[in-house]
Amino acid sequence: MWCPEGLDEVEAELLGPSEELKDRDVLEIGAGAAQCSRWLVAQGARPVALDLSHRQLQHALRIGGPFPLVCADAAALPFADGSFDLACSAYGALPFVADPRLVLREVRRVLRPGGRFVFSVTHPIRWAFPDEPGPEGLSVSASYFDRTPYVEQDDEGLAVYVEHHRTLGDRVRDVVTSGFRLVDLIEPEWPDWNTSEWGGWSPLRGHLIPGTAIFVCERD
Ligand SMILES: C[S@@+](CC[C@H](N)C(=O)[O-])C[C@H]1O[C@@H](n2cnc3c(N)ncnc32)[C@H](O)[C@@H]1O
């Protein structure tokens, strides 16, 4: 699943035709509980699930799966050049690093020539709206151009959650200047069958403004 809208890889085939995933080496970035890797292994691929959070990887370990889990920063990948055919990320790592080009360059380095990286992030337009699923989430409340990160702190003032904003132009520029070709940029529409609300995502908002941007990138 790429996003709360419900677009899944069976339908979208953004990593390529499902039948061609067999025996492919795939790196999942910001894997969380590694649900994408679990799906990939079922297609016959050889995924590696990477996340910075030990706690997230403990969830992945508890759920199980016959693939390696790697605890590392996506901006410093512990793999040799050209180790993977494909890389993917569903809302992992990229929104949470100050300079996503560091991640993109690392992913490019570990991909083989012709390799593809597909990643989804919150659609940049959402930055300008309150993160609310109801009508209050439909009025612009902040500048789309304000790149000041969103930070939550604990009682001692330590940052416990940080999300960085990139405009759509920033994201395209990040991809291209990191040595990728942008093959497609998908803004999934909210499907009628999806009646669920999740955080700031809802059918009400989903029918009016995009919630997710999915970048399909290839290296030469
Ligand atoms: C919103 S969750 C998405 C998890 C999973 N892909 C999913 O679809 O449920 C973002 C994940 O990115 C991970 N992450 C954040 N910064 C990272 C970094 N610099 N390197 C690797 N993983 C990172 C977080 O630990 C978290 O598991």
Three state DSSP letters for 64-108: CCCCCEEECCCCCCCCCCCCEEEEEEECCCHHHCCCHHHHHHHHH
Please tell me the distance from the alpha carbon of residue 211 to that of residue 146, in angstroms, as a whole number: 18
Q: What are 145-188's pLDDT values in tens digits?
A: 999 999 999 999 999 999 999 999 999 999 999 999 999 999 99
- DSSP designation for 17: -
Please tell me the distance from the alpha carbon of residue 61 to that of residue 57, in angstroms, as a whole number: 6
Confidence (pLDDT) at 88: 98
Q: Is the shortest distance between the CB of 20 and ligand 1 below 6 Å?
A: no
What domains appear along the chain, each with residue ranges and CATH number? 9-123+166-219 (3.40.50.150)
Q: What are 11-34's pLDDT values in tens digits?
A: 999 999 999 999 999 999 999 999
Query: How confident is the model over 67-71, as a mean pLDDT?
Result: 98
Q: Which atom, in ligand 1's list, is nearest to the CA of 32?
A: 27
Residue nearest to atom 23 of ligand 1 (CA): 93
Confidence (pLDDT) at 161: 95
Confidence (pLDDT) at 131: 95
Which secondary structure element, helix H or strand E, spans residue 200, and what is its range? none
Residue nearest to atom 2 of ligand 1 (CA): 92
CA 89 to ligand 1 centroid distance, Å: 8
Confidence (pLDDT) at 137: 97
Query: How confident is the model over 181-200, as a mean pLDDT?
Result: 96
